Amino acid sequence: MNRLPALVYLLGYAGLLPFIAGPLWWTLLPDSVPPWLDGVWLRYAAMIASFMAGTLWGLALPTAEGPNGLIGMALSTVLMLLAWLAASLPFTPAIVALAAVFVLLVAAEVWRERVLDPLSGYFSLRLSLTIGVLVCLVWRGLLA
C-alpha cells in the first residue's frame, strides 16, 4: 500500500489555516476585524474549491479518451464553475453555496475512487480536509 508523501499532508493541513483564521478572528477579536477579511476569506474558499475540482481533472486525464475520463473532466469543470458562481453571491448565501460545492467535491471523489484508479490515502485526506473546511464555513456562517 503506497502512502502519499508527508509533504502532501503538511500542505493539505496548512491549507486549512486560512479557513480557520477568518472565523477565529471574528470569534476572538470581532472589533478588530478589517472590512476586507470576509471577502478575502470567501475568495480563498472558492479558490481552494476550484483547485480541488482541478485535481479531479488531473486524475481523470489518464483516462480522458474513455467515457469515465470524460465524465471526470466534465465533473471537474462543473464543480469549478459552481465554486466561481458561489463566490459571486452575497456573503451568507456564498458560504452555504461553497459548503455545498465542497460536499459535491467529496461525492465526486467517491465516484473517482470507485471508477478511476484510486490513490492510496488520497480519499481519506480529502475527506478529513473537507470536514475541516465545512466546520469553518459553518462556524463563520453562525457568526454572520
**Is residue 31 domain-resident?**
no
**Is residue 18 domain-resident?**
no
Reported as a single tens digit per residue, the pLDDT across 115-129 is 987 778 899 999 999
pTM assigned to the model? 0.92
**Is residue 30 domain-resident?**
no
**Is residue 75 domain-resident?**
yes
Q: Which residues contact 56 (CB under 8 A, 6 or more apart)?
A: 72, 75, 76, 79, 105, 108, 109, 112
The domain total for the chain is: 1
DSSP, residue by residue, 7-71? HHHHHHHHTHHHHHHHHHHHHH-GGG--TTHHHHHHHHHHHHHHHHHHHHHHHHGGGTTSHHHHH
Query: Range of 61's domain?
Result: 36-143
**Is residue 137 domain-resident?**
yes
Reported as a single tens digit per residue, the pLDDT across 24-34 is 999 999 999 99
